[in-house]
Amino acid sequence: MSDKLCEIYEEFNRYIYHLCLKLTRNPQEAEDIVQEVWVKVVRNEKQVEQVDHIKAWLTTITMNTFRDRYRKNVRRSKYVLNQPETLDVPILDLVPNNEISTEEQVEKVAITKIVQEKMKQLDVIYQKTLWYFYVDQYSLAEISEIMKVSIGTVKSRLFRAKARLKEILLSDKKLVDVIPA
């Protein structure tokens, strides 16, 4: 683990734990989620260098981890609770697999790379607005604060950025069949 990650861990571990505790109201479950969050952070160590707002990024990872875990528990309980007591098949075979297939994952990664490359053709102000809204998942008010402009300006920039990005994507002859109009 790099020094940068160690510093981030030291600075934000208590914050992440308290956020998890607030979400779960269970110390053991909060600790499990905290551990999952840090595993994800370590796995995405290269991405840390690109993050402008570490706390917001960590909060997003924490919230998504909590949501994923909650959904998984709800799905599992829905299928497990309604089963007879004696079964001829293993109980885990009854839990549906909602994971994305390998082909879908590869396609998603390819599309993400294409969109990120095309975003580089946008003006920096539009790049940042799209990044803050879709990647960092900041609200319009938060973006307005960060960029020191009105919420209306953020909305306009977001609208123009999406329109321009769509224009750029559709102008690429190789992508016309892939990108929905």
Domains with residue ranges and CATH for the chain: 1-99 (1.10.1740.10), 100-181 (1.10.10.10)
Q: Distance between CA atoms of 101 and 4, rounded to whole angstroms?
A: 34
pLDDT at 164: 92
Residue 13, CA distances (Å) to 16, 56, 57, 58, 169 in order: 5, 13, 13, 10, 40
Q: Lowest mean pLDDT of 15-29, 109-123, 153-167, name the range.
A: 109-123
Q: What percent of the chain has pLDDT over 90?
A: 33
The pLDDT tens digits for 96-135 are: 555 666 777 777 788 788 888 888 999 999 999 988 988 8
User: Residue 38, Cα to own-chain centre: how many angstroms?
Assistant: 14
Q: What angle do CA 97, 99, 102 make, to 5 degrees?
A: 120
User: Taking 70 as the threshold, does the pLDDT of residue 89 lie above it?
Assistant: no
* Predicted TM-score (pTM) of this structure: 0.43
Amino acid at 9: Y
Q: Distance between CA atoms of 181 and 164, rounded to whole angstroms?
A: 13
- pLDDT tier, 181 (very low <50, low <70, confident <90, very high otherwise): low
Mean pLDDT confidence for 158-165: 92
The pLDDT tens digits for 60-81 are: 999 989 888 877 766 655 555 5
From the list 154, 109, 110, 108, the residue with the least C-alpha distance to 128 is 154
pLDDT at 87: 46
Mean residue pLDDT across the chain: 81
